[in-house]
């Protein structure tokens, strides 16, 4: 989602380290994204799941405490979203 990248690259904006705060920010992002991009996702919850998952994937990728062999791969990421109706969107 380019919109999420744009939000996170905004000057002076840093995501907090606390998951509950990230959850609220991603919820607000998903609400706005869904409202401004009708038809992209069938509901705001799917936009939220994908946005929050992308942040967690990024954290996983750049966290030195996680062994390289344990880092999530793209296939794992897609598989984690099966049954939620967004895996097809990830493959576009």
Active site residues: 18
Among 81, 21, 74, 76, which residue's Cα sits nearest to residue 50?
81
Are the C-beta atoms of residues 86 and 53 closer than 8 Å to each other? no
Among 59, 87, 82, which residue's Cα sits nearest to residue 72?
59
């Amino acid at each position: 989602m380019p919109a999420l990248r744009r939000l996170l690259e905004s000057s002076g904006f840093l995501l907090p380290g606390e998951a509950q705060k990230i959850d609220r920010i991603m919820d607000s992002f998903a609400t706005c994204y869904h409202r401004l991009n009708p038809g992209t996702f069938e509901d705001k919850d799917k936009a939220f799941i994908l946005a929050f998952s992308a942040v967690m994937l990024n954290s996983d990728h750049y966290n030195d405490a996680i062994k390289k062999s344990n880092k999530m791969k793209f296939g794992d990421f897609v598989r984690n979203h099966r049954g939620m109706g967004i895996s097809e969107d990830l493959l576009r």
